[in-house]
Amino acid sequence: MTLWLALALMTAAAVFAVLWPLAGRVPARGGSDTAVYRDQLDEIARDRAAGLIGETEAEAAKVEVSRRLIAAAEAEQVAISEADATAKSSLWRRRSAAVAALVLVPAGAVAFYLFVGSPQLPGAPLAERLRTAQENAPIANLVAQAEKHLERNPNDPRGYEVLAPVYLRLGRFADAVAARQKVIALSGETAERQSDLGEAITAQANGIVTADARRAFERAVALNADEFKARFFLGVAAEQDGKKDAAAAIWRDLLAKAPADAPWIQTVRQALAGVGAEMPQPPAAAAAPAPGPSREDMAAAAQMTEKDRGDMIRGMVERLAGRLKENADDIDGWQRLLRAYMVLGEREKAQGAASDARKAFAGDADKLRRIDETIKSLGLAAQAG
Phi-psi region of 281 (alpha: psi -120 to 50; beta: other; left: phi over 0): beta
pLDDT, one tens digit per residue, over 121-176 is 556 555 555 555 555 457 777 788 888 998 999 999 888 998 899 999 888 999 99
The stretches of 2-54 forming alpha helices (DSSP H) are: 2-19, 33-49
Q: How many CB atoms lie within 10 A of CB 344?
A: 14
Q: How confident is the model at residue 44 (pLDDT cuts 50, 70, 90)?
A: confident
- Cα gap 335→193, rounded to integer Å: 24
Exposed (0-12), middle (13-18) or buried (19+): which is 350, by Cβ within 10 Å? buried
Can you give the pTM of this predicted structure? Answer: 0.42
Q: How confident is the model at residue 273 (pLDDT cuts 50, 70, 90)?
A: confident
Positive or negative: CA dihedral 227, 229, 230, 235: positive
pLDDT, one tens digit per residue, over 239-256 is 999 998 898 999 888 888
Looking at every residue in the chain, the average pLDDT score rounds to 77
Q: How many CB atoms lie within 10 A of CB 160?
A: 25
Q: What is the CATH number of domain 303-384?
A: 1.25.40
pLDDT, one tens digit per residue, over 317-366 is 888 888 888 888 888 888 888 888 887 778 888 889 888 989 999 888 88
Task: Please name the residues in contact with 246: beta carbons below 8 A apart, sequence gap of 6 or more.
Answer: 235, 238
Q: How many CB atoms lie within 10 A of CB 263?
A: 11
